[in-house]
Structure 1
Amino acid sequence: MTEAEETPRILETVEEVAQPAASSPSPARKTRKRRRLRWSDFSYTTRVTLAFALIAAMTALVAIGVVSFVWEQHFRTYTADNMQTLCQTTANRIAAIYKETDDLWNPETTKPALQAMELTSGVGVRVINDEGRTVFDSSIVYDEEQGGLAKSIEPTNGSQVAQAPIMVDGKKVGTVRLWVYGSEALMRQPDQEFRDNSYQAMFIAAAVAIVLASCIGFLFARNLVAPINRIMGAARAIGDGDLSARTDLRGEDEVARLGETFDAMAESVEKDRDLERRLTTDVAHELRTPLMAIQATVEAMVDGVYEADEERLVTVNSEIQRLSRLVNALLKLSRLENRADPMKEEVVNVGELIAGIIATHEMFVSDSGLTLTYDAQPDVMVVGDADMIRQATANLISNAVRYTPEGGHITVAVKKGDIMASIAVKDTGIGLTKEEARMVFSRFWRADAGRNRESGGLGVGLAVVKEIVDRHGGWVQVEGEKGRGACFTIHIPLYDEGAEKHRAFGSGKKRTPHKKQR
């Protein structure tokens, strides 16, 4: 290849730079190629199974590593002991021959060293006399190709070395040095077979453990995922419109409790859907009744069946006013929910405010065949909108009158707590169940005993009460039993004069007390 071919070509024109390769893949294909498989791409069952298998594999590897380390240390010690024994035996045999040969160093004297070297592979022996001269060295061998002597297996830093003195009549005449390469040099065949078989057994056991762990992980994951799949199936069914779907899970574990919570939610949704249908029927009924009355009366007057006299016109006007009240009530509720009307913040004496409401409602309550009593603690002060509080209380009194049969009794009480003021309206009417108490603040909802036009309710009064109290930072408490009356209690935060003074000092403003309207 020439120099011109080896040097990369530099694109010099705009067309060359901008022109894509004809065979270049599309961006979508590049994205697909670059996308790597992620852990989250696997199913939960697969992830748990792989996790169990990985844990088993890591445990097996750690166990094999620890056992291998311990065994290697053991066999290294075993080899060192054998080396020292062989070295000492060789030194003793050389000493005996040395003594018999009249203290001469010759091949016959060092023959035990040669025999020790030939005992097993990987062993080197060196004999040094008392003058420091090497008289036998197994690492120096004859190389026929070189035509002379050549170095062969010199001991290295990693070699195990043992040495023993050659003693003759208590005098040291030399030294035997013996070394091996690796821990297997002096290991007996049964020992090697035992070690190899043990390693093989450990690897087989590790493989079996991984397979068993994978099976256990798979079964565990399936058992764990099964209730989750039931929850998913129920959720899909509800999403498709089947509100009767349930998981029917029971137990003390977290997933079972999740299933029970889901079933409770589904039951609540189903009841709310039934309530929605019921409310839709109520709204249609409330709108249809006056419209049909107006239509029938007007058509009769147009056809000449009825004369357009004052009585007929009063009937039409009455139904129109009924429609107007319903629309105004809905508009009022909508404005409260949307915070469209600003709320006045003034210091209100609740006792005096409610006393005025009682005065205006006494005749209304009396005409309904009921009795009304009022009890209020002094100086119960709150910060809020007096008109809204007045309307909420009036709605509760009207509701009590509507559901209390003739001869009943209504009690209104104002009390002062530690941090909250309470306005309680208690009646001896038809009462309500716990389920009805949960739905009583829904718009257009009315108790079964009052689901007729004669009761006069539009079904939005209590919803207005709740919105008003919510805007004041309070809540409405409902108590009662079926057939034994009900008690609605409004809780509103008390006026804190100390905090108000601090706020007024910081803002330069001061609240003015609400004046009782006569």
Structure 2
Amino acid sequence: MRHRSLPFRLAVAFAAVAVATAVIAAVVLTVTWQRQFERYIERGLQDRAAEIADYFAVQYERAGDWDTAASTGLLHVAVSADLRVQLFDDTGELIARTVDGSAEEEPSAGWTEVTAEADIVVSGEVVGTAIVTQRTRGGIFTERDEWLRQTSLWALGLAAAIAVALASVAGALYSRGIARPIEAVTRTAERIRAGDRSARTGMSGGDPVADLGATFDQMADAVEAERRFEQQLTADVAHELRTPLQAIQATVEAMQDGVLPTDEERLSLIHDETVRLGRLTQSILELSRLETGAAPFTLSPIDLSATVALAVENSRALMESTGHRLEESVAPGLRAHGDADRLIQAVGNLLSNAARYTPEGGVVRVRLLREGAEAVIEVADSGIGVAEDDRDKVFTRFWRADPARTRASGGLGIGLAVVREIVERHGGRVGAHPSDLGGAAFVVRLPLSGDER
């Protein structure tokens, strides 16, 4: 019944609109018909009075006086049973009159009179007046007029009944067309609620209801993607935490059992793994806050050139300790709207990543230049590079090109994901490309501030 209620209500609404339209049309037509037909009868009676006045003018001009003209004219004026003619001279004195078919000079009860008059003009002078009176029983309309009006109203009523029937059928069909897609959305929602995550409406098209179904499917896809994302995040975090925890547990148990001595080397191993767990936890928390928008950003006009130069300087000691040659080329005077600390963090992550994947003695190069309305930050290296199939994956959390190597060197697989989030929060974009140094090049593009464009 709940699913049938919408078509039923729409059908009733269509029928109600049709009935209201018919009633309004009937009222308007009745009032308009009444007024217009009264005017029509009055104009017809006036025309008849003018014709009679013209006729008596001719008779007066021939006879030269009203006695002869009136007696002669009245004999030739055709008077119907509901029409009476009165003649007055130029002084307003009654000269003659006809009596209607009822032979009554005064109207009886139940009769209505409509009068029209016309001047009798001879040689430009008014010599008299003709007054024509129409008498009808019960109103201005004759029986024929009433028949015409009743017939018109009956035809209107029939048209209204047909319109209501057609509107009801059309409303039912149209409402079914609307209800079916809505019911499909409802059924799909119920299936998803019951656990069928793959349920979709499959609707498409250009009408609003189809757009509703398509939007619902997109929402369901987004929810499913978010669910998979959470599942993958949970699995990735569990995987990343399991390795150091297992190492710590195995070492401690071995020390407790006396298999391994409790010496500086073992304690150092436990300490290193504990530090790594702390860094991993902090990185996961930082990435989560960035992805959810909870991480604070202070966007303001900044000197982008100075910001990049500071990030390079902060990483110089790292490059020296790993035996890499650091090259930099920073165009001066470039300004942007952003968070300097976050951009320093992003560039620092790119430099750390380059150092980790570049063999000792390799080259890491940082460049800042302007291209149109954008600032381009490039961090390139002569390291192992990134395979073409992996370029879209490098900014995914916990992804590594060489898992064994990076885990040994302390890589967490989160740094590039953090870079992407920071860059996108600044309205920019980041990508990975082959480097002319032989390794990988990570290119960040940021919009320059308005006065720099």
- TM-score w.r.t. the length of structure 1 is 0.60
In the other structure, the counterpart of 1:4 is none
Whether 1:356 and 2:306 are equivalent positions in the alignment is no
Whether 1:159 and 2:122 are equivalent positions in the alignment is no
SS in 1 for 2:93: coil
In the other structure, the counterpart of 1:379 is 332
Shift of 1:378: 3.0
Task: Quickly say closer, same or farther: Cα 1:177–1:393, change in 2 above 3 A.
Answer: closer
Whether 1:329 and 2:329 are equivalent positions in the alignment is no
Matches within 5 A, 1:172-187: 177-181=132-136, 187=142
Q: Distance in 1 between matches of 2:26 and 2:403?
A: 77
Q: Distance in 2 between matches of 1:309 and 1:226?
A: 75
In the other structure, the counterpart of 2:346 is 392
Would the aligned equivalents of 2:365 and 2:380 in 1 still touch at CA under 8 Å?
yes
Shift of 1:274: 0.8
Aligned residues: 414
Matches within 5 A, 1:60-459: 61-62=24-25, 65=28, 69=32, 73=36, 77=40, 81=44, 119=81, 123=82, 125=84, 127=86, 132-133=93-94, 152=108, 159-161=114-116, 177-181=132-136, 187=142, 189=144, 192-238=146-192, 242-330=196-284, 338=294, 347=303, 349-350=306-307, 352-353=309-310, 355-356=312-313, 359-362=316-319, 374=327, 376-382=329-335, 388-400=342-354, 412-426=366-380, 428-431=385-388, 436=393, 440=395, 445-447=397-399, 454-455=406-407, 456-459=410-413
Would the aligned equivalents of 1:127 and 1:136 in 2 still touch at CA under 8 Å?
yes
Shift of 1:306: 2.6
Would the aligned equivalents of 2:45 and 2:116 in 1 still touch at CA under 8 Å?
no
Whether 1:46 and 2:1 are equivalent positions in the alignment is no
Amino acid at match of 1:392: A
Would the aligned equivalents of 1:126 and 1:176 in 2 still touch at CA under 8 Å?
yes
Q: Distance in 2 between matches of 1:450 and 1:55?
A: 74
Task: Quickly say closer, same or farther: Cα 1:256–1:151, change in 2 above 3 A.
Answer: closer
Task: Quickly say closer, same or farther: Cα 1:58–1:311, change in 2 above 3 A.
Answer: same
Would the aligned equivalents of 2:111 and 2:137 in 1 still touch at CA under 8 Å?
no
In the other structure, the counterpart of 1:477 is 430
Task: Quickly say closer, same or farther: Cα 1:461–1:162, change in 2 above 3 A.
Answer: same
Would the aligned equivalents of 1:164 and 1:175 in 2 still touch at CA under 8 Å?
yes
Shift of 1:247: 1.7
1:269-301 CA distances to partner (integer Å, 9 max, x unpaired)?
A: 212211210110111222232222212221222
Q: Distance in 2 between matches of 1:458 and 1:490?
A: 21
Would the aligned equivalents of 2:11 and 2:171 in 1 still touch at CA under 8 Å?
yes
1:284-322 CA distances to partner (integer Å, 9 max, x unpaired)?
A: 222232222212221222122333234433332222222
Q: Distance in 2 between matches of 1:80 and 1:342?
A: 85
1:394-419 CA distances to partner (integer Å, 9 max, x unpaired)?
A: 31234456678999986543212455
Where structure 2 has 5 or more consecutive residues not aligned to the other structure, the ranges are 60-66, 69-73, 121-126
Would the aligned equivalents of 2:328 and 2:367 in 1 still touch at CA under 8 Å?
yes
- TM-score w.r.t. the length of structure 2 is 0.67
Amino acid at match of 2:201: T
Q: Distance in 2 between matches of 1:245 and 1:206?
A: 46
Task: Quickly say closer, same or farther: Cα 1:466–1:67, change in 2 above 3 A.
Answer: same
Amino acid at match of 2:13: L
Shift of 1:255: 3.5
Q: Distance in 1 between matches of 2:76 and 2:117?
A: 16
Q: Distance in 1 between matches of 2:301 and 2:313?
A: 20
Q: Distance in 1 between matches of 2:316 and 2:188?
A: 56
In the other structure, the counterpart of 1:489 is 443
In the other structure, the counterpart of 1:16 is none
Shift of 1:429: 0.8
Shift of 1:266: 2.1
Would the aligned equivalents of 1:162 and 1:177 in 2 still touch at CA under 8 Å?
yes
Q: Distance in 1 between matches of 2:430 and 2:310?
A: 20
Task: Quickly say closer, same or farther: Cα 1:151–1:299, change in 2 above 3 A.
Answer: same
Task: Quickly say closer, same or farther: Cα 1:254–1:126, change in 2 above 3 A.
Answer: closer
Would the aligned equivalents of 1:344 and 1:385 in 2 still touch at CA under 8 Å?
yes
SS in 2 for 1:243: coil
Would the aligned equivalents of 2:117 and 2:130 in 1 still touch at CA under 8 Å?
no
Shift of 1:242: 4.0
| RMSD (Å) for aligned C-alpha atoms | 5.4
1:29-63 CA distances to partner (integer Å, 9 max, x unpaired)?
A: xxxxxxxxxxxxx9587357625752674278448
Shift of 1:208: 0.8
Would the aligned equivalents of 2:354 and 2:364 in 1 still touch at CA under 8 Å?
yes
Would the aligned equivalents of 2:335 and 2:449 in 1 still touch at CA under 8 Å?
yes
Amino acid at match of 1:77: Y
1:449-496 CA distances to partner (integer Å, 9 max, x unpaired)?
A: 55668544324323433455467x453323569xx9875433456588
Would the aligned equivalents of 2:185 and 2:216 in 1 still touch at CA under 8 Å?
yes
Among the aligned pairs, what percent are the same residue?
Answer: 32
1:48-104 CA distances to partner (integer Å, 9 max, x unpaired)?
A: 762575267427844884587468645753686479769969x99xx9xxxxxxx89
Task: Quickly say closer, same or farther: Cα 1:221–1:452, change in 2 above 3 A.
Answer: farther
Q: Distance in 2 between matches of 1:48 and 1:434?
A: 58
Amino acid at match of 1:478: G
Q: Distance in 2 between matches of 1:245 and 1:257?
A: 17
